[in-house]
A and B are shown apart, each in its own frame.
Chain A
Amino acid sequence: EIVMTQSPTSLSVSPGDRATLSCRASQSVNTNLAWYQQKPGQSPRLLIYGASTRAPGIPARFSGSGSGTEFTLTISSLQSEDFAVYYCQQYNNWPPKYTFGQGTKLEIK
């Protein structure tokens, strides 16, 4: 089973600063990695798929990178609406199974 580990668990950043969130897979997932943003009381929102492709409507300040086992979500200039929990997600072809990281909570400093 592929285990996804996100770091840090929480991150305090000032508005306007850059935030870098990490996600590590226990074995290679190639680029089959997505990122989601979840705000309190809301369902997760797709940000990035294929490790680096922004979903439609997602601002350019969000970028994803990586392949294999190491992935990064970067938010270049934090806005107030970006403070949320972020999850990474991978898909394993066989047996078919999705797993999520445990999440990184991005807090206002």
Chain B
Amino acid sequence: QVQLQESGPGLVKPSETLSLTCTVSGGSMSSYYWSWIRQPAGKGLEWIGRIYSGGSTNYNPSLKSRVTMSVDTSKNHFSLKLSSVTAADTAIYYCAREVAEASDNWFDPWGQGTLVTVSS
């Protein structure tokens, strides 16, 4: 079955750019949207944005000015860049596959998540 694995630096300095990659295994990336979701410690889930296998993107308006996503289906991975980070961006970052059927949309599966701490 499809599995996702996040990777990237666990520590980022304030004002710098957070960069993460999600590697997809066990299936094709084609014809799916792929999302990034984050969760500050002890808090709820926030959708950051998504990228289609063909490259089109949608971002959460609250983060849009700082987010860039890219995809490389030949390498079976997609990436997140979040610029000008502050301590408020400290969170566990998850990648997930979006499934869409009959006007319903959900995430399955999810990666295990990676903790990113913003600190000098």
Contacts and interface: CB of A to CB of B under 8 A. Distances in A.
A100 B58 contact: no
B40 to A, nearest CB: 12
B104 A95 contact: no
A46 interface: yes
Interface string A86-106: 010101000111111111000
A7 interface: no
B120 interface: no
B47 A49 contact: no
Interface stretch (B10-18, B22-30, B72-80, B110-118): B110-118
Nearest to A1: B61
B79 to A, nearest CB: 19
Nearest to A85: B44
A8 interface: no
Interface of B: prevailing SS:
strand
Contacts of A66: none
A98 B103 contact: no
Number of chain B interface residues as a range? 20 to 34
Interface residues of A, number: 26
B45 interface: yes
Nearest to B47: A98
Interface in B65-120: 94, 99, 101-113
Contacts of B109: 46
A16 interface: no
B47 A46 contact: no
A98 B60 CA distance: 8
Of A87, A96, A101, the most chain B CB neighbours within 10 A belong to: A96
Interface of A: 30-32, 34, 36, 42-46, 49-51, 55, 87, 89, 91, 95-103
The 7 closest A-B pairs by CB, nearest first: A91-B105, A34-B106, A98-B47, A43-B110, A50-B104, A96-B58, A49-B106
Given A30-B103, A44-B107, A46-B109, 6 more contacts: A32-B104, A43-B111, A49-B104, A95-B61, A100-B46, A102-B44
